[in-house]
Copies of this chain bind each other. A is one copy, B any other.
């Protein structure tokens, strides 16, 4: 070990790198300089620690990349559990759209997003991707929290919070992107069209054109339910994926969210267009949308990440639970217990997720040159012993509540399970007030 000086080192743990070879490094030493991982090595027993401004002792636990949530709607924490066990159209039209039009103000978005960031950080998520309205308020709150994020302004052909005139929806999103491009190191702006059935062809094309011009990710919910697929076939003579392709929306900077109702031709199309996919298995189960053919996506070489979806349809932002569900459900569906093994699922929640949202070179693994986005999990807990295989342990046994330390870009955001950047007490108090307003004022 040379006498390098680091801004931060993390040592005394097993590093689950999720690099290309899925290397596991026992007795790991990770050195960070200027927010970037400089070295991932095994420290010889008894060797002195290198110089470092800050030292994190992993206490013999697991050191792993922070998790990447490829799809969520952060402020929807405000509606966690507000309307459950309902069909998607009833849930969306009779509950979500009405409460959103009434309660989604910049101020409420700010607090809902702070709550989401708190929950994500405390459950080991360091990067998230999603879209909503008043997205400038979302981006400001995420900046305060310190997470890495791809944050999109939502586009829909109805009057929406902050965008009363739908004719201006794409212009509004473009202005948001302009405003946030290059502004904060951790925030990448993006544009999110709600769905092919809530945006006209003109809107979709204009939004993708704007995203393309600015070089940002274009996101869209697509093929979530069977009725959506059937309606698309009826209306356009095309599957939802074919329809989007026909109007030129599919390329390597397009993230298709859900993609549940996709067939082999759709998959071949998605593969050749190099689109990315966000798989939201818990939301798809809870809303009874169906189960996306993820093993086929992966076999086709398409980058697939995991997403929690918004809190109103999950009802949490815990990617550990999402990994467990994803690993299990596809075994049940394919009737093959070797489907989506633990390492594959962990990759989806880290490096492949990062790739899916355009941050593959930035985050998602413990490798020199990537941002120091990592978490430490203390494994000295009853439900985490014994441990025979770390990848299995992470997917099938660990939960968000097991995360002790969270680092993003070399900055410690959670220490001993306490948030560093956010004021938990204040956030919970403000959320209580907003929830009271919602309880009293929501349409019955």
Contacts of A80 in B (CB 8 A): 385-388, 397
* Interface membership of A321, Cβ < 8 A: yes
A78-112 residues with Cβ-Cβ distance < 8 A to B are 78, 80-82, 84-88, 91
* Interface membership of A348, Cβ < 8 A: no
With A285-B329, A287-B331 known as contacts, the answer to whether A341 contacts B85 (CB < 8 A) is: yes
Cβ of A290 and Cβ of B400 under 8 Å apart?
no
Interface residues on A, range: 35 or more
* Interface membership of A135, Cβ < 8 A: no
Checking B87, B282, B401 against A338 with a beta-carbon cut-off of 8 angstroms, the contacting residue is B87
CA distance A428 to B383 in the complex (A): 10
CB distance from A120 to the nearest CB of B (A): 9
Contacts of A329 in B (CB 8 A): 285, 329, 332
A309-343 residues with Cβ-Cβ distance < 8 A to B are 314-318, 321, 324-325, 327-329, 331-332, 334-339, 341-342
Checking B88, B91, B316, B397 against A396 with a beta-carbon cut-off of 8 angstroms, the contacting residue is B316
Write out, one digit per residue, whether chain A residues 45-75 have a CB within 8 A of any chain B CB (1) or not (0).
Answer: 0000000000000000000000000000000
CA distance A171 to B400 in the complex (A): 46
With A122-B382, A315-B392, A329-B329 known as contacts, the answer to whether A337 contacts B287 (CB < 8 A) is: yes
Interface of A is mostly: helix
Stretch at the interface among A25-33, A148-156, A245-253, A430-438: A430-438
Checking B286, B336, B399 against A337 with a beta-carbon cut-off of 8 angstroms, the contacting residue is B286
Contacts of A434 in B (CB 8 A): 386
Cβ of B382 and Cβ of A286 under 8 Å apart?
no
* Interface membership of A242, Cβ < 8 A: no
The 4 closest A-B pairs by CB, nearest first: A386-B435, A401-B401, A285-B328, A288-B337
| Residue ranges of A at the interface with B (Cβ–Cβ < 8 Å) | 78, 80-82, 84-88, 91, 115, 118-119, 122-123, 226, 282, 284-291, 314-318, 321, 324-325, 327-329, 331-332, 334-339, 341-342, 380, 382-383, 385-389, 392-393, 396-397, 399-402, 424, 427-428, 431-432, 434-435, 438-439
